[in-house]
């Protein structure tokens, strides 16, 4: 008979047990550069989505959007149709979910063969390097693909608010995709047609417990998102999200009523490499827990994705092969690399 797995302990339990960050739980080769490195805090450019959609003022705002994406790969969106009090409510409900007893959260645990549901990096091997977080991953769109058995029933209004949030975000995706197309002098629906009117959206609710050894752990390892774009609702107070600009990590601050939008690999492919899917990471905080929601807006699975034809001509070669989005993640670690022509 197979050996039973070693007892799994969550990162949160390790901390609350007062354990030190042990070798095997942590980067011991100096890869976490948060100690000793002065990290600058900067506010990323603010884009008014209302202006993007209104013709007299769109040109200026489109120019700002294009510059923000070139410099950062991300921007803060305001005037996005969600009130500050609604966003506070979403944050509050998420905080309440993660504060529930482990027993309750485990009711929504992701099954072994699926990412969806509640989970975290289980401590299963000595070599494993953990991300210092707990998370809840849910498909929120299309609606008929939701797996409601892993959707929390507590706090009570969680499901209803997430539903409302997903409807609002869907509208934002439409506005932003049209604006990005226009900012590249493409026909307005060029990207929206590729990814599909409805798209597929995954919400990842993140809880990053405080950690006394910032020099040893990441809340989330450096990565680029495989999405078309990702809409992040950051913690209202606690910083932690950093973007790589050139060779410098910069800690981004956002205004409370804004959501942070970064583009992902699919946008890099569709823009034929003109726009870059930015590397980013989350560092932990020594004294405060941090929460965030990242919603990955992705193409409909059966859609074929490739560089926009309008960007290819005699002087500009096609940089990426076409791919069906359902196959994208099977390409490996940074799938986009495998698509280079
Ligand atoms: C992610 C991500 C940022 C955050 O989940 O891919 O980058 O602030 N999250 O949690
Ligand atoms: Ni990310």
Distances (CA, A) of 284 to 100, 276, 290: 21, 26, 8
If one counts every other C-beta atom within 10 angstroms of the C-beta of residue 30, the result is 10
pLDDT, tens digit, 9 for 90 and up, residues 135-183 = 999 999 999 999 999 999 999 999 999 999 999 999 999 999 999 999 9
Q: Which atom of ligand 1 is nearest to the CA of 260?
A: 8
β-sheet bridge partners, residue 118: 109, 136
Determine the Cα–Cα distance for residues 178 and 45; give it in Å rounded to an integer. 19
What integer pLDDT is reported at residue 304 of this predicted model? 93
What integer pLDDT is reported at residue 49 of this predicted model? 96
**Which residues of the chain fall short of a pLDDT of 50?**
1-8, 22-24, 35
Point out the ligand nearest to the CA of residue 294. 1
The closest residue, in CA terms, to atom 9 on ligand 1 is 294
**Domains along the sequence of the chain with CATH:** 38-338 (2.60.120.330)
Residue 61 is classified by DSSP as H
What integer pLDDT is reported at residue 9 of this predicted model? 53
| Token representation of residue 310 | 């309008």
The closest residue, in CA terms, to atom 5 on ligand 1 is 294
- Ligand 1 near 225 CB (within 6 A): yes
- Ligand 1 near 264 CB (within 6 A): no
Distances (CA, A) of 299 to 134, 135, 167, 192: 26, 23, 16, 9
What integer pLDDT is reported at residue 35 of this predicted model? 47
- Ligand 1 near 285 CB (within 6 A): no
What integer pLDDT is reported at residue 113 of this predicted model? 77
What integer pLDDT is reported at residue 37 of this predicted model? 63
Please state the pTM of the whole predicted model. Answer: 0.90
- Ligand 1 near 162 CB (within 6 A): no
- Ligand 1 near 201 CB (within 6 A): no
Q: How many CA atoms lie within 13 A of 73 on its CB side?
A: 27
Determine the Cα–Cα distance for residues 275 and 283; give it in Å rounded to an integer. 25
| Token representation of residue 102 | 């482990």
What integer pLDDT is reported at residue 95 of this predicted model? 96
What integer pLDDT is reported at residue 4 of this predicted model? 41
User: Do the beta carbons of residue 321 and residue 306 sit within 8 Å?
Assistant: yes
CA of 28 to the centre of ligand 1 (A): 23
């Amino acid at each position: 008979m197979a050996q039973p797995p070693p007892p799994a302990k969550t990162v949160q339990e390790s901390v609350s047990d007062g354990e030190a960050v042990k070798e095997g739980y942590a980067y011991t080769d100096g890869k976490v550069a948060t100690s000793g490195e002065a990290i600058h805090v900067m506010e990323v450019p603010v884009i008014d989505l209302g202006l993007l959609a209104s013709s007299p003022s769109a040109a200026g705002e489109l120019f700002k959007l294009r510059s923000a994406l070139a410099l950062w790969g991300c921007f803060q969106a305001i005037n996005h149709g969600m009130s500050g009090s609604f966003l506070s409510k979403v944050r509050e409900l998420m905080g309440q979910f993660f504060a529930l007893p482990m027993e309750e959260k485990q009711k929504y645990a992701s099954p072994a063969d699926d990412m969806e549901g509640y989970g975290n990096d289980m401590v299963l091997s000595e070599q494993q390097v953990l991300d210092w977080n707990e998370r809840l991953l849910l498909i929120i769109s299309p609606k008929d693909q939701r797996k409601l058995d892993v959707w929390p029933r507590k706090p009570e209004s969680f499901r209803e608010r997430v539903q409302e949030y997903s409807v609002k975000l869907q509208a934002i995706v439409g506005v932003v995709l049209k604006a990005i197309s226009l900012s590249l002098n493409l026909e307005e629906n060029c990207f929206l047609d590729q990814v599909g009117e409805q798209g597929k959206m995954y919400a990842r609710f993140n809880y990053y417990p405080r950690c006394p050894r910032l020099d040893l752990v990441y809340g989330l390892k450096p990565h680029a998102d495989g999405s078309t774009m990702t809409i992040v609702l950051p913690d209202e107070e606690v910083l932690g999200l950093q973007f790589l600009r050139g060779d410098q990590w910069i800690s981004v601050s956002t205004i409370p009523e804004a959501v942070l939008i970064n583009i992902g690999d699919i946008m890099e492919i569709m823009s034929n490499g003109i726009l870059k899917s930015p590397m980013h990471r989350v560092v932990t905080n020594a004294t405060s827990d941090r929460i965030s929601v990242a919603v990955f807006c992705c193409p409909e699975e059966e859609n074929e994705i490739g560089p926009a034809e309008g960007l290819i001509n005699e002087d500009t070669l096609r940089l990426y092969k076409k791919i069906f989005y359902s196959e994208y993640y099977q390409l490996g670690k940074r799938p986009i690399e495998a698509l280079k022509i």
